[in-house]
Amino acid sequence: MHQEENRTARWISALSRKVVLPTALTLTANATAQSSNSTNAQVLQELLTEVRQLRMALERANTLNARLQITLQRIQLQQNQVNRASSDLESVRGAISKAEADESQTSSELSDVESRLPQEQDPNRQKELQGVQKYMKTKLEQQTHAVQELQGKESELATSLQHEQAKLADLQSRLDTLEKTLEPQQTQ
């Protein structure tokens, strides 16, 4: 008897799953369909509004993406300019160091010649030392002038490098601003 009750309970349960539940769902769907005709227009309007908002968001994203790409390319080009200016400046500084070393050596040699000149007794040797002294003075003046020109060029290049670095900093600031513009969109 206990088995028959279990069998009957299972049969009723199966019947309710196969007949009663689908019937109830159909009746609910019919009632909802009748009331949803009025809400269909509202849902359609909401969907249309959301599609428009999505289109606008995509247009903004595309515009922002293009601006990001342009800014990144300009940063890359500007970084190349900074690197070139920095390299030129280092090259001139190396040339200044060499020119100053040459100038110092010539000055030392000139001092040596000038100290030997009054001690020289031989007139031929004295004339030779005077010729060397004149040559070294001319050479020293040229070297001094070359160092001054290189220092002027160094100053110009240092100013140019600062200018190029300022441009790069401005572009990087623009990129930061564009990135901040992206942040709220990414969190939504």
Domains of the chain, first to last: 64-188 (1.10.287.1490)
pLDDT at 102: 95
CB of 173 within 8 A of CB of 104? no
| pTM for the model | 0.63
Task: From residue 145, give the alpha-carbon distance in Å to each of 80, 88, 179.
Answer: 32, 20, 51
Rounded mean pLDDT of the chain? Answer: 83
Q: Kindly tell me if the per-residue pLDDT of 157 is higher than 70.
A: yes
Q: How confident is the model at residue 34 (pLDDT cuts 50, 70, 90)?
A: low
CA proximity to 160, closest of 71, 72, 78, 70: 78
Q: Which residue has the higher pLDDT, 73 or 42?
A: 73
pLDDT digits (tens, 9 = 90+) for 61-101: 888 888 889 999 999 999 999 999 999 999 999 999 999 99
